[in-house]
Amino acid sequence: MSLLFSPLTLPSPRGGLTLPNRIVIAPMCQYSADVGAATDWHLMHWGNLLNGGAAMLTLEATAVLPEGRISTHCLGLWDTRTEAALASTLARARKLAPHTAVCIQLAHAGRKASSAIPWQGAQLLNAAQGGWETFAPSAIAHLPTEAAPTEMTLAHMTTVTQAFVTAAQRADAMGIDAIELHSAHGYLLHEFLSPLANQRTDAYGGSLENRMRYPLELFAAVRKAYQGVLGLRLSATDWVDGGWDLAQSTVFAERLQAAGCDFIHVSTGGVSPQQKIALGAGYQVPFARGIRQASGMATTAVGLITDPHHAEAILQNGDADLIGVARAFLYQPRWGWQAAAALGGEVQANPVYWRCLPREAQTAFGKVAVGSR
């Protein structure tokens, strides 16, 4: 039996969430929001992916404060306006694919905020270009050519923590099934963890214990306020000597598990332009394996996993519990259907599309697609 198409229950204080398969669509920024509000692009995008055969769709990095957006066009959830737009748009998309769970990634971009969208250069914007003041654990710029962020005070940190808590409550109120806190890719929580970005001299900088302190405090505050499935996305290494690494990540993961974390999504990199990444199919899987073995948490592997047989092998080897697939779903929106056909699994999907299946793939739905009259 295919492990990729076997169920998995993610625990939570209020009962957990059972996924019918192990495919998770990883979050992908769309840079298509209207001052944080979801738009018709999101309706199309989410509706398409929700019908792709994955057990769960993770919504893109969703800023908990306006200044926490990566760009002017990033999705947000910080007030009643952004909440109403996200709730309405998501409800319309889910109506056509109620079988797929939805997770939201809550985020603050830290010193990487106030940036141009990728196809316009992705560089830090100044006030004249529509940018804004950025905040980080230390006043250290991401790039030497950029202005340094403002070092966060304890009051700033309290404000951000409360924003994460409030956004989690808003997400819960609209029926989202799970929440993932973004602590990867060089954004705010990752910046606190990494000694490359965090050079504070107070209780939140220096030692590993101190650098973990704020992310753990923020996680605990969200956990207290939200009883659903709660996880975290982590960059397991900075790919830079002297930076954050797997050994520190395993300690952090063990502390998260003790604090009530239900799953961990393992990525890498993003905090330094000096990173040297050895790209290749499944290049991040060894990090997922190490963290899974250390923490015992349900672990998601991600990173150039595009072949269903490769995804199956990762699970069979005990390297991870879930497989995160991202851009492959943009190129092949029914990737989950193809994986089911390749591995002898089954998926649920809207019957409107059943007739598109080639004959050899029809068993992936436990049905025979019918022709039109």
pLDDT tens track for 214-245:
999 999 999 999 999 999 999 999 999 999 99
How many whole angstroms separate alpha carbon 62 and alpha carbon 125?
Answer: 19
Tokens for 4, please give them.
Answer: 């990729």
Q: What is the pLDDT of residue 365?
A: 57
- Let me know if 283 is a catalytic residue: no
Residue of 31, 187, 214, 226 with catalytic role: 187
Q: Which CATH class is domain 8-365?
A: alpha beta
What is the pTM assigned to this prediction? Answer: 0.95
Among left, alpha and beta (phi > 0; psi -120 to 50; other), residue 69 is beta
* CB-based contacts of 353, cutoff 8 Å, min separation 6: 51, 334
Mean pLDDT confidence for 333-358: 87
The answer to whether the beta carbons of residues 224 and 216 sit under 8 Å apart is: no
Q: Tell me, what's the pLDDT at 95?
A: 94
> Mean pLDDT over all residues of the chain?
94
Residues in contact with 171: Cβ distance below 8 Å, sequence separation at least 6, in sequence order:
77, 104, 106, 179
Q: Is the pLDDT of residue 104 over 60?
A: yes
pLDDT band at 361 (very low <50, low <70, confident <90, very high): low
- DSSP string across 26-81: PP------BTTB--HHHHHHHHHHHTSS-SEEEEEEEESSGGG-SBTT--B-SSHH
The number of residues making up the chain comes to: 373
pLDDT at 142 over 80: yes
Task: Look up residue 98 and give its two tokens.
Answer: 């109620």
What gap in Å lies between CA 324 and CA 305, rounded to an integer? 8
Q: pLDDT: is 369 or 115 the higher one?
A: 115
Express each pLDDT in 2-35 by its tens digit.
Answer: 999 999 999 999 999 999 999 999 999 999 999 9
Closest among 149, 158, 220 to 186, alpha carbons compared: 149
- Write the pLDDT tens digit of every residue in 147-194: 999 999 999 999 999 999 999 999 999 999 999 999 999 999 999 999
Contacts of 34 (CB under 8 A, 6+ apart): 85
